[in-house]
Amino acid sequence: MLRTLNQAGELRDKRVLLRCDFNVPLDGEVVTDDGRIRAALPTIHRLTNQGAKVIILSHLGRPDGKPDQKYSLKPVANRLGELLGQPVAFATQTVGSEASSAVQALEAGSVLVLENLRFNQGEASKETSERIEFAAQLAQMGDLLVSDGFGVVHRKQASVYELAKTVSSYAGLLIQAELEVLDQLTENPVRPYTVVLGGSKVSDKLGVIDSLLPKVDRLLIGGGMLFTFLAAQGHRVGKSLLESDQIETVRSYIAKASELGVELVLPVDVVVANEFAADAEHEVVAASEIEGGRFGSDGIGLDIGPETSRVFAESISSSKTVFWNGPMGVFEFEKFSNGTRAVAEALTKVSGISVVGGGDSAAAVRSLGFSENSFSHISTGGGASLEFLEGKSLPGLEVLND
């Protein structure tokens, strides 16, 4: 059983380390999508209302184990202050004398954000001993841990795993809410059950296909990984994202899907551009003819085509359970956002459960103007929710279980 906040006892004047996932997109010092910050508010309110001293831990980006100002959490602390309507203190270190003084200065019901965990080598180190050492330093800063960074529970990192073993630790309200929805997707999902995959982290996501195939009725493939599928079918893909070393593996997925009777739906057309840019020239070509288009072998596939969007939308909106992770194209460029918009639109029409997972996917639906209420749930975790659906054990959750 997951240990939850209800079991944490009296919190007045306690120093509560709150692990959040505030890995949000930034444009300079402006948070461009604050969904993950808003998702943490219920837990923060609960803690401050109980008179706890809230010390927030998070990572942002991949700063490589040392300070790098472009990944500072300062803009996040500012945004959090605005959302909470109360001042939020910020320490320019995660651990060390300045961080400790900031903690000492905290009063009951106040909030402090410590600088990016990943400015410290120990946080994401491959060496267990380094992670344990960093977790011990973090443990000094608080009396207990509330773990609420759902987006990182699949990572065995110091603040997610070793710290939770070192001090009393409990799951926060966001993790509880996320698990409630994901349980509905894994325990007898109402069928047809459709999973839509896209995005850019091709090798991360190709692996999940193998474990999802036996569980789903339909699997729709868009985004960067679609080109490895096209290559597996013998097509040339120009300069599109491609993982040549995965082509054989992908062939075996295609075979497995047909053995299992799973509908594996691949794009029939693609939007191909002459360069990776917002104002690139572009055209729609058949998925099998990418290099036969205007840009020849220089063409880059940046979105699924309109016919594919129609097919995907039909497949999605006629399903009873849908999980979607990963944009269908480079939605950050208006011209290449149509596939992602079509899929999002179709999810809003599902009569049943529709779940969007992943930082960029969540940001995409918001930036395309969809209301959060149009979906059953927008998960704050991409990788974490996929691994949960695959049935993997997630270290950051295991460690919160009795």
- H or E element: which one contains 286? strand 282-286
For the CB of residue 65, give the shortest distance to ligand ADP in the complex, in Å: 21
Cβ count within 10 A of residue 77: 23
Q: Given candidates 302, 311, 316, 397, which one binds ligand ADP under the rule CB under 6 A? A: 302
**Three-class SS of residue 171?**
strand
Q: How many residues bind ligand ADP (CB under 6 A)?
A: 20
The binder of 63, among Mg ion, ligand ADP, none, by C-beta within 5 to 8 A per type, is none
192 to 73, 172, 209, 353: CA distances (angstroms): 42, 32, 17, 11
52/311 with CB nearer ligand ADP: 311
Beta bridge mates, 196:
220, 324
Which residues within the stretch 224-243 sit at the binding site for ligand ADP (CB under 6 A)? 224, 241
Beta bridge mates, 284:
271
Asked if 25 touches ligand ADP (CB under 6 A), the answer is no
User: What values do phi and psi take at 320, rounded to 5?
Assistant: -105, -20
Asked if 360 touches Mg ion (CB under 5 A), the answer is yes
The side-by-side arrangement of strands in the sheet containing 269-273 is 282-286, 269-273, 300-304
For the CB of residue 175, give the shortest distance to ligand ADP in the complex, in Å: 18
Asked if 395 touches ligand ADP (CB under 6 A), the answer is no
Q: Given candidates 122, 142, 199, 299, which one binds ligand ADP under the rule CB under 6 A? A: 199
User: What values do phi and psi take at 296, rounded to 5?
Assistant: 50, -135
Which residues within the stretch 282-301 sit at the binding site for ligand ADP (CB under 6 A)? 301
Contacts 24+ apart (CB under 8 A), 96-103: 99/141, 100/140, 100/141, 103/15, 103/53, 103/55, 103/141, 103/142
Active-site residues: which are they? 36, 201, 359, 383
Asked if 359 touches Mg ion (CB under 5 A), the answer is yes
147/228 with CB nearer ligand ADP: 228
33/123 with CB nearer Mg ion: 33
Question: Residue 191: CB partners within 8 Å, gap ≥ 6?
Answer: 217, 320, 321
The binder of 267, among Mg ion, ligand ADP, none, by C-beta within 5 to 8 A per type, is none
**Which range of residues in 108-116, 167-175, 258-266, 323-331 is near ligand ADP by CB under 6 A?**
323-331
Using CB under 6 A as the criterion, which residues of the chain lie in contact with ligand ADP when the complex forms? 198-201, 223-224, 241, 301-302, 325-327, 329-330, 332, 358-361, 382
Using CB under 5 A as the criterion, which residues of the chain lie in contact with Mg ion when the complex forms? 359-360
